[in-house]
Amino acid sequence: MRIAIIGASHAGISAATEAKKRYPDAEIVLYEKKNQISFISQNTLFYILDQDRLRLDSGQYTTVVALRNAGYIVNTSVDVQSIDGKEHVLSYINLENGMSYTEHWDKLIMAIGSYPVLPIILGPEPDNLFVLKDLKSALDLNRVVKKRKNRRYLWEWFNRSRVSTNSKKKRT
């Protein structure tokens, strides 16, 4: 049996792990549009603030190599173009080489993640609006913070939000 999982972030990796438990003999294939997987955006602030506690590369709970070593097939930098539920095939493009592929599946799991819907902001495109969702957004934010030399304000905001969160937890 071949299980195709579209999306290799938190939900996709969790689905792959569960599928392996339920179907240990199945071939499990993950398809991810980005070139990296499992990025934990909460670590971004520590990276930007040069904290010794965490490095950006520790912001992943697994890697492509680890998943492959565990027996999964992991395709990164691919864009799924179509899914045929009747014939059980999916087509995708490798974003690095432009080649198209079609593959069969017996079971399909959609774990395409979530991206926030940003409000429309009138005027010129803001250069200081960031959604911390992946490694690229973390690197982009870090470049801006270094350029503007305002890490202190980011750190103060982070500490205030942690204090606020902790005080809410104590009251419940």
Q: Find which of 9-18, 91-100, 115-124, 153-162 is predicted with most confidence, using mean pLDDT.
A: 91-100
Question: Is pLDDT at 84 greater than 90 in this prediction?
Answer: yes
Question: Is pLDDT at 98 greater than 60 in this prediction?
Answer: yes
Structure tokens of 97? 């080489």
Give me the chain's average pLDDT, please: 76
In 3D space, the residue among 50, 65, 43, 13 whose CA is nearest the CA of residue 135 turns out to be 43
Q: Write the pLDDT tens digit of every residue in 137-149.
A: 777 777 777 776 6
> What is the amino acid identity at position 25?
D
1 Cβ partners below 8 Å, 6+ apart? 23, 25, 26, 27, 106, 107
73-75 and 78-84 strand pairing: unpaired
Q: Find which of 6-10, 17-21, 141-145 is predicted with most confidence, using mean pLDDT.
A: 17-21
Tokens 């399909």 correspond to 108
Is residue 44 within 8 A of residue 59, CB to CB? The reply is yes
